[in-house]
């Protein structure tokens, strides 16, 4: 295997790794909560408020 192919393969692996592990799951979760406003989120937040009192 030539050096150029090894470098391209290594870059491909790095880009794949970044794509999988840098995927902004938190941002998608927050967007889901904002768009759909599921009742379980409101219940969870109310329980947190009661526990803090």
pLDDT tens digit at each of 53 positions of the chain: 899 999 999 899 888 888 877 777 788 888 899 899 899 999 998 999 898 77
Domain boundaries along the sequence of the chain: 24-53
- Which segments of 1-53 does DSSP mark as H helices, in order? 3-21, 25-36, 39-52
Q: What is the pTM of this model?
A: 0.52
Indicate the burial class of 41 (C-beta count within 10 angstroms; 0-12, 13-18, 19 or more).
Answer: middle
From CA 3, how far away is CA 50, in angstroms rounded? 62
Give, as one character, the DSSP assignment of residue 2.
-
pLDDT of residue 44: 92
């Amino acid at each position: 295997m030539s050096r150029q192919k090894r470098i391209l393969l290594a870059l491909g692996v790095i880009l794949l790794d970044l794509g999988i592990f840098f995927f902004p799951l938190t941002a998608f979760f927050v967007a889901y909560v904002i768009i759909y406003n599921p009742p379980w989120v409101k219940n969870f937040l109310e329980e947190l408020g009661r526990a803090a009192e």
